[in-house]
Structure 1
Amino acid sequence: MASFMIVGARGNWGFVLTLRGGKLAGLVLVGIAVAVSTVLFQTLTENRILTPAVMGFDALYVTLQTLAVFSLGGGAATALDPRLRFFAEAALLTATALALFRWLFDGRRGLHLVVLSGLVFGVLCRGLANLLQRILDPNEFSVLQSMMFTRFNMVDTTLLPVAALIILAACVVVARLVPVLDVLALGRDAALSLGVDHGRTVMLLIVLVALLVSVSTALVGPVMFFGLLVSNLAYIALGTDRHRYTLPAAALIAIACLAGGQTVLERMLGYDAALSVVIEFGGGIVFILLLLRGARA
């Protein structure tokens, strides 16, 4: 993080530090939100190859942006108060998560149905978004493209206070639930036998995951495999599933990847590559390797 702030800095240090400080704060918040939400979601589903993005959250975000441009127009959509848009997206993501994953509370339904429902929901959202995008005026479609793609170098600093408050509150709640998370990772039956209120705990965790995902998407756009990458790197590096270690480790790895990658991109490559493409490429490789390892096992 220190290198991100001072490498290549020239001219007015007050301006440079303010500009980079806001961007660094955004990257830190995004890293924490993505890492914590992914680890929590993997604990809920008892599966290390699933992320909230795989379950359709990224498709829902793209659909929301498409609907905004289609109904309001590109100019009006970009002129909306970012805080108002952020709260609307957070509310919709949270409501959708609660509706989509309600099967987690019913012991008669298995994980496969939850995964299938998320995948079908993602396909539905992508189909709707593609249909509306084909109807859009080309000029408005160009505006939409700038809104729906991941942009680590264009963090909306006006959202940082709200995002920091939400992430801090979510992390405080998660910290208090760490012992319960370790029990929850043992499975539903084990958690119930050890006195954990499984339904209420899962409901709370789903709300936390939805809020954290909404924060990261509002700040930089949807990310697909980044959470998968950092969470599995944390598991491998520590060799443990204890949440008191994996949660902070995944967050630190995510921050290091974003800040270090952005530093290399800006100061060494001159923006000749996209950080999001590199990160998603690495995460996709990890995803494939995990699938192959599971198939061999």
Structure 2
Amino acid sequence: MAEDTTVREAPAAHLPRTGQRSRPPARGGAGARAPRLARPARPWLRVAVVGVLAAVAVLCYLFLFVRGSFEFAIERRLTAVGAMVLVAFTQGVATLLFQTVTQNRVLTPSIMGFDSVYTLAQTAMVVAFGGGVLAATDGVGKVVAQTLLMVAFATFLFRWLFSGRHANLHVLLLVGVAIGMAFDSVATFGQRVLAPADYDLLSARMFGRLTAADPQVLPLAAGVCVLVGVVVVRRHARLDVLHLGRDVATNLGLDHRRELTLALVCVSVLVAMSTAVVGPLTFFGFLVAVLTHQVAGTHRHAVLLPMSFLLGVLVLVGGQFVMEHVFYATGMLTVVLEFVGGTVFLVLLLRKGTL
């Protein structure tokens, strides 16, 4: 057979669509472009930005829209800012630590019954001595007594549950919820037998009062916060390991039980101090923790701890400035924060489907 010498045309090259330019192949023989590397999150830059915004919010709240005597206004505003900074640190750091040890971003320290202990103590005082005892006993002594009571309750609960053979964090949470419900029931029964005037005085103490904190107790609270803050910051690397779970932390050489107990004691001291000074705040810490994880861009506690504090200051001071000078509703910030925090809690719980 004769050899076929017919010249065949080469197949047509694939042409790009109209309006598109063809791209040269990447070097190295690969036809596809190499994917771009993601830029680092730069968490410390984010911390600096939030810190600047928090400082601006504090300066605006202190020096803008001053009417009347500047000395009187600045003294009142400094007390309010001190209380808000205290709440931002205690609630933000305590909730972050609690979610670290529980490895759950939905749970909050209030589930352990701290608010219930505070409510029961206040109710018992009014039932026994009348509504006037609330104002008569305000001061450092009352704050110290209430803080020691709540810390003793939490410490006893931790030692009892973690000293047994079947020590379990989930059992601790379950018992905390049950005890909190029992205390709430007893407090509700006591409130029903009160006179209307005494009940009104007691009800005013059941909500957070950021602008009515006693300035005499703020130095004591600040000292406690500094001590706890030093302990927490020095152990930030251990908190990173603790967040990995008991098995992983133990394999890495961490004394899981000791670190867990120490973290829970720090949570108890912070929440007890905050509740004793400004009253119960159920969902504010949860709201700050959610914002912290969204803004920080990292899981390292060296960044999360200052971020939670600065975000708490920004939310509280900025929110109070807006409520006072835009909506003219001075005492409504805690109500708004609790509503927003509760809504976010329900949304995350429904999306997650479980605790």
Q: Could you state the TM-score of these two structures normalised by the residue count of structure 2? A: 0.79
1:161 matched to 2:219? The reply is: yes
Q: CA deviation at 1:227?
A: 0.6
CA distance in 2, matches of 1:293, 1:183: 27
Q: CA deviation at 1:181?
A: 0.5
Specify the alignment match of 2:63 in structure 1. 6
- Among 38, 48, 55, the alignment partner of 2:112 is 55
Give runs of aligned pairs for residues 10-29 of structure 1, distance below 5 A: 10-29=67-86
Match of residue 184 from structure 1: 242
Amino acid at match of 1:271: A
After TM superposition, the structure 1 stretch with the greater mean CA deviation from structure 2, 189-198 or 220-229, is 189-198
**Identity across matched positions, percent:** 40
Secondary structure of 1:54's aligned partner: helix
Match of 1:131?
Answer: 189
**Cα offset for 1:273?**
6.4
Kindly state the Cα deviation for residue 280 of structure 1 after the two structures are TM-superposed.
0.8
Look up the SS of the partner of 2:111 in the other structure. Answer: coil
Q: Which residue of 2 aligns with 1:147?
A: 205
Q: CA deviation at 1:240?
A: 1.9
Choose from 208, 220, 225 the match for 2:266.
208
Deviation at 1:296, TM superposition (A): 8.8
Residue of structure 2 aligned with 1:230, choices 288, 305, 314: 288
* Aligned residue number for residue 42 of structure 1: 99
Q: Which amino acid aligns with 1:162?
A: L
Q: Which amino acid aligns with 2:153?
A: T
Q: Is residue 87 of structure 2 the alignment partner of residue 30 of structure 1? A: yes
Moved over 4 A (4+): 104-107
Name the structure 2 match of 1:249: 307
Check conservation: 2:86, 2:222, Cα contact below 8 A: yes
Return the letter of the residue paired with 1:249.
M
Distance in 1 separating the partners of 2:138 and 2:82: 21
Q: CA deviation at 1:107?
A: 7.3
Q: CA deviation at 1:106?
A: 5.8
- Map of 1:65 onto structure 2: 122
Report what 2:137 is aligned to. Answer: 80
Q: Are positions 1:289 and 2:342 aligned together?
A: no
Q: Distance in 2 between matches of 1:158 and 1:296?
A: 43
Residues 107, 293 of structure 1: CA spacing in aligned structure 2 closer, same or farther, 3 A cutoff? farther
Q: Is residue 7–residue 267 contact of structure 1 (8 Å, CA) maintained in 2?
A: no
Number of matched pairs: 297
Q: 1:88, CA displacement in angstroms?
A: 1.1
Structure 1 residue 94, shift from structure 2 partner: 0.9
> Once the 2 structures are TM-superposed, how far is the Cα of residue 282 of structure 1 from its aligned partner?
1.2
Q: In structure 2, do the counterparts of structure 1 residues 285 and 104 end up closer, same or farther at CA, with 3 Å as the change threshold?
A: farther
Contact 2:150 2:272 in 1 (8 A): yes
Q: CA deviation at 1:18?
A: 1.6
Distance 1:177 1:79 in 2: 41
1:76, CA displacement in angstroms? 2.5
In structure 1, give the amino acid aligned to 2:315. Answer: C
Paired with 2:206 and 2:71, the residues of 1 have a C-alpha distance of 32
Quote how far apart the aligned CAs of 1:122 are: 1.2
Q: Would you say 1:263 and 2:321 are equivalent positions? A: yes
TM-aligned CA deviation for residue 161 of structure 1: 0.5
Deviation at 1:59? Answer: 1.4
Report which of the two has the higher share of helix: 1
**Which of 1 and 2 has greater Rg?**
2
Q: Distance in 1 between matches of 2:127 and 2:259?
A: 38
